[in-house]
Amino acid sequence: MSAISLGNVTAREMRPEELEQGLSIRNSIFSPITAEDWKIDGDVKTAAIAFDGEEVIGFIPLYFRNFQLVPGVHVTAAFENAVGTSEACRGRGVGSQMIEAACRFLPNQADALFLYRGDERSAGYRFYTNTGHSDLHYVRNYTRANDLHEAGGARLAMPPNVIISEDTDTILARQDELLPLFEDTYAAFGGFPQRRPGYWAHALRSTIYVAHPTEFHLVQLQEQGRLIGYAIVGRKQRDGEQGPLHVLEIAALGGSLDHASRVLQGVCAFSEQRGSVSTIMPIGYAHPFARLLPELGFQTQRRFHQVMAQLFDPRQLFERAWRDRLRLPGIRLNVWTPKRELTLLDGEGEAPQTVTLEMKEDTLTAWLLGRIDLLARIREGTITVLIQPPANPSGLDGIDRILSEIARAIPHADWVYHHLDYI
């Protein structure tokens, strides 16, 4: 049963005919979107909805995205956004009931709940940790201020071969050229919705850009007419003509730092020319172009955004994402946490050796989503290992090989955040 009831409150999956009711809750709290916006957005989606009797009192939109964990491994992520409860019903646990209901009705549609969240000291952040979400990736803003009042001050020159297109048509027209540059730059990373032909047309129709209308521009580095680097930048209309320019996505042929540096110089020059107060690039620690930003005058700020997630069924996720990568004949692989015990590999033969990995629940979430270096965690002691029957000293090399094989099959990957994907 996927409905959750407490008193008169029931939470369950939204039915199509209930969309307008759900959006009425969403739009009373957040910048509004219409049912038509919901339907033409490129994301496949559903929602959790809560009722008090016949009255709708809560709504959580859930957008499905094919999400890259590590190179070659993707899961279906259900991204929560615009989570809301009617003002009169807050403090009654309605949000928690909707999350619990989502965890029941989503497993046949997705592998995990995901969201982009900010401010670790906020009540909203605590709501997500209290409902079982774990941090996976941290993002900070890099900001370059423009001195708009300095008369005759030095301005960045637009680098040679950098062209600015001040419309979305060029982005859409050059999608087939963006894709190989993106793949060149981020092939070794995880942490983002998978790019594919037509992705950018889909992304620019996202309801986040309906709720917050944005002017998009394509900064292009060309060589003999060939695109060798680009950045998609945007300014939210609500921020006014001098509002900050955000770097939403950047890539370069072969991941070239030189190409990326010229693109970023072009971004900063364009930001100055158009009178923006600043240029902002939200990224995580592993972004391949992070090292270029201090040279261009970007200042770092305290981390603010996180990518968070919650698993529905760790065994199911293992089977879908990792099982084909791991072969350990004669080994039963178990996981123990304070919340659960599960078997990932059943072992073979009459008396398989059992290897149990002991860890916290949030560590299990991070490990199965490609965010844990298993061997490093074992060395530091935050993941412990129980061998049954106990290995004698001569068998320790074999245990090390088993653990190394598990770590190879479920590896850690650096994650990269692209602000274009925010929802």
pLDDT tens digits for range 38-50 = 988 767 899 999 9
pLDDT at 392: 60
Helices (H), 187-313: 199-204, 207-211, 257-273
DSSP string, 188-205: T-BSEEPP-TTHHHHHHT
* pTM for this predicted structure: 0.93
Summarize the confidence of residues 224-228 as an average pLDDT.
96
Dihedral of CA 366/368/372/374: which sign?
Answer: positive
Mean per-residue pLDDT of the chain? 94
CA atoms of 166 and 172, how far apart (whole Å) = 12
- Is residue 283 a contact partner of residue 140, using CB atoms and an 8 Å limit? yes
Percentage above 90 pLDDT, the chain? 86
**Cis link prior to 159 (omega < 30° from 0)?**
no
Catalogue all structural domains in the chain, each as residue range(s) with its CATH number.
4-132 (3.40.630.30), 140-303 (3.40.630.30), 313-409 (3.30.1050)
- How do 134-145 and 384-388 pair as beta strands? unpaired
pLDDT at 402: 94
Q: Is residue 151 scored above 80 in pLDDT?
A: no
Q: Select the more confidently predicted residue: 6 or 289.
A: 289
CA atoms of 264 and 289, how far apart (whole Å) = 10
- Is residue 51 a contact partner of residue 107, using CB atoms and an 8 Å limit? no
Q: Is residue 395 scored above 60 in pLDDT?
A: no
Question: What is the band of 155 on the pLDDT scale with cuts at 50, 70, 90?
Answer: confident
Q: Is residue 408 scored above 90 in pLDDT?
A: yes
CA atoms of 374 and 384, how far apart (whole Å) = 10
CA atoms of 327 and 14, how far apart (whole Å) = 40
Question: What is the band of 253 on the pLDDT scale with cuts at 50, 70, 90?
Answer: very high
pLDDT tens digits for range 51-110 = 999 999 999 999 999 999 999 999 999 999 999 999 999 988 999 999 999 999 999 999
